[in-house]
């Protein structure tokens, strides 16, 4: 598609000083810099590049199809396809037309996928053939209008046959109220059932501005995002996004050598990811003696970040500004801090996640709703899905004298150690400061009612040396007799591989106790 041919059409759609529809920001980049690479997909020896003008032009074709199909503003459109360049063009069309995009993370397994389908109650489902072929057996799919991408399935329309590829059409993002639902996504469900979270256009725009303020990127940045929706923020910023191949999208299991090769080949200047993903990559770069010197900005989020990981990241990314970001599906970001500040902190009272970002109001509520020095973290602001109401995160935390937030655990996970309340992150942060510890969890169960420290070690770690070091930090903590249990693997969350899946761990331990 000729990107320049999109300009006059986009000019008519661009321009209001205060956009209401988030796609207006992306259309404006296409108008001003149509030849800037928007999405890059590594593909063998050649990279597939989609420029901003072409991306918006392709989105316009999808928008025209939505209009002709009678899929109008307010309809919920659920995507169950891998996030590639064509998918993002479709995403822009859905948002531009004032529809509600529904996204679900399929990494939690079929049961969770079926649960999110039922909760979303979509009007339209666009899915890969491998998912859509089950539509006769799934009530949510039977009730919805069905379309496929990447292949045909009887009983569903095929988008490749329905959407014109050659025409150049205007993309005119419709004006929407700030409270118009833009995206429905689902929480990780790490401690229970996933819940639907609605982000309005106003919230999406506010989240984009909050991220841009907390972690500014240059227009020349080449970003490798670890989170699919992060690409939408990149597109709003006018930067270039590298889309990882399908086999690298499951963070904890991604091959670090392949990720390192993409960083080098594509000249990646910024990246983001979960602690497990970034930790695996950092250890690979250190082990091979190939630090990623092109990376100027790195963001770690989606799970606890300990001081040992900070040290590994600093070795692997020596020239990068590295920030820990704390947030939630309902509120992103909430706080930030540099890893250098985390690493320099001598106190080990949980995980340090920093100061509230601009526009984020954070406080602590006790479970009785009274304020307390230690309590449940609550946040409100324009970028929070609850709007003016407080969103209670389910995390227990405290503020230090410098106004920095420390996370101590999740609500209901504290352990009574011989009558003394001990929050799990305090003990786990101690353990994660020890070389050789890959993962740690402090829990109570039938065999250890006063608590037990469960640890997973790095391959090749000296068990005896690690246990001696653990005994030392536990004695300093006042827990000299705490039971230590070494296990082959600690269950982690399916999305990021960085948060302990406590219900699954407790089930595993109780099974071992039989």
The pLDDT tens digits of the residues spanning 300-351 come to 998 999 888 999 999 999 999 999 999 988 898 999 999 999 999 888 789 9
Peptide bond preceding 333 in cis form (omega within 30 of 0): yes
- Indicate the number of domains in the chain: 2
Q: How far apart are CA 301 and CA 325, in angstroms?
A: 5
Token reading at 457: 């070690």
| Residue 143 within a domain | yes
State what percent of residues in the chain have pLDDT above 90.
70
285 CB-side CA count, 13 A: 26
The domain boundary, picked from 206, 222, 255, lies at 206
Average pLDDT over residues 70-94: 93
Within a domain: 316: no
For residue 245, is it within any domain? no
Assign residue 488 the CATH number of its domain.
3.30.300.30
More confident site: 103 or 16: 103
Distance CA 193, CA 186 (A): 10
CA dist 30 and 458 (Å) reads 47
Alpha helices in 69-200 (DSSP H): 85-96, 110-120, 129-132, 139-143, 159-162
342 lies in a domain? Answer: no
pLDDT of residue 192: 57
Structural domain ending residue among the three candidates 180, 206, 232 = 206
CATH label of the domain that carries residue 116 = 3.40.50.12780
* Strands of 483-486's sheet in order across: 437-445, 448-457, 483-486
Cα 21 from chain centroid?
22
Whether 383 maps to a domain, the answer reads no
Summarised one tens digit per residue, pLDDT across range 464-492 is 999 999 999 999 999 999 999 999 999 99
pLDDT (mean) for 165-190: 80
End-to-end CA distance of the chain: 64
Domain boundary among 176, 206, 236: 206
Distance CA 66, CA 75 (A): 11
37 three-class SS? strand
Task: For residue 438, give its domain range.
Answer: 420-513
Token pair, residue 292, equals 């990623």
Residue 160 pLDDT > 90:
no
What are the DSSP calls for 55-67, one per residue?
A: HHHHHHHHHHHHH
Residue 343, domain member (yes or no): no
Q: Which two three-digit tokens encode residue 176?
A: 């929407």
Closest CA to 454 of 485, 481, 426, 479: 485
The pLDDT tens digits of the residues spanning 404-423 come to: 999 999 999 999 999 999 99
Q: Is residue 271 part of a domain?
A: no
CA distances from 93 to 24, 137, 227, 260, 482 (A): 11, 29, 20, 33, 56
Q: Which H/E stretch holds residue 299?
A: strand 297-301
Q: What is the mean pLDDT of residues 220-242?
A: 91
In a domain? residue 74: yes
């Amino acid at each position: 598609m000729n990107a320049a041919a999109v300009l006059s059409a986009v000019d008519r759609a661009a321009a209001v000083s205060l956009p209401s529809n988030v796609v207006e920001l992306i259309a404006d980049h296409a108008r001003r810099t149509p030849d800037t690479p928007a999405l890059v997909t590594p593909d063998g020896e050649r990279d597939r590049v989609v420029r901003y003008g072409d991306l918006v032009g392709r989105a316009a074709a999808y928008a025209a199809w939505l209009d002709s199909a009678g899929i109008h503003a307010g309809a919920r459109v659920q995507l169950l396809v891998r996030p590639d360049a064509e998918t993002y063009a479709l995403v822009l069309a859905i948002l531009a037309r004032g529809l509600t995009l529904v996204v679900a993370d399929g990494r939690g397994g079929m049961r969770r996928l079926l649960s999110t389908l039922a909760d979303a109650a979509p009007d339209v489902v666009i899915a890969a053939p491998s998912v859509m072929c089950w539509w006769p057996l799934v009530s949510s799919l039977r009730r919805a209008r069905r379309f496929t991408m990447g292949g045909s399935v009887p009983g569903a329309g095929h988008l490749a046959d329905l959407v014109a590829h050659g025409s150049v059409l205007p993309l005119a993002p419709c004006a929407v109220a700030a409270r118009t639902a833009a995206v429905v996504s689902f929480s990780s469900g790490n401690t229970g059932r996933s819940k639907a979270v609605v982000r309005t256009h106003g919230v999406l725009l506010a989240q984009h501005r909050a991220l841009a303020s907390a972690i500014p990127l240059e227009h020349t940045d080449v970003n490798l995002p670890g989170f699919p929706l992060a690409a939408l923020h990149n597109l709003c910023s006018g930067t270039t996004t590298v889309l990882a191949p399908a086999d690298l999208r499951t963070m904890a299991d991604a091959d670090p050598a392949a990720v390192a090769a993409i960083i080098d080949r594509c000249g990646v200047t910024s990246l983001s990811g979960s602690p497990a993903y970034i930790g695996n990559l950092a250890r690979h770069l250190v082990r091979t003696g190939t630090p990623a010197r092109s990376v100027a900005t790195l963001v770690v989020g989606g799970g606890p970040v300990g001081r040992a990981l900070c040290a590994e990241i600093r070795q692997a990314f020596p020239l990068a500004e590295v920030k820990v970001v704390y947030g939630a599906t309902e509120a992103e970001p909430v706080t930030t801090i540099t890893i250098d500040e985390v690493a320099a902190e001598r106190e080990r009272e949980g995980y340090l996640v920093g100061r509230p970002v601009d526009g984020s109001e954070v406080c602590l509520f006790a479970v009785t709703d009274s304020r307390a020095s230690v309590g449940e973290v609550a946040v409100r602001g324009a970028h929070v899905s609850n709007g003016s109401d407080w969103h209670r995160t389910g995390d227990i935390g405290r503020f230090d004298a410098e106004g920095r937030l420390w996370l101590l655990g999740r609500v209901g996970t504290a352990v009574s150690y011989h009558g003394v309340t001990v929050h799990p992150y305090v003990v786990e942060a101690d353990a994660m400061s020890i070389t050789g510890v890959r993962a740690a969890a402090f829990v109570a169960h039938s065999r250890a009612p006063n608590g037990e420290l469960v640890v997973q070690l790095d391959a090749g770690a000296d068990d005896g040396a690690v246990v001696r070091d653990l005994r030392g930090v536990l004695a300093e903590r006042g827990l000299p007799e705490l039971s230590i249990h070494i296990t082959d693997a600690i269950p982690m969350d399916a999305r990021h591989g960085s948060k302990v899946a406590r219900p699954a761990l407790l089930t595993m331990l109780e099974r071992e106790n039989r």
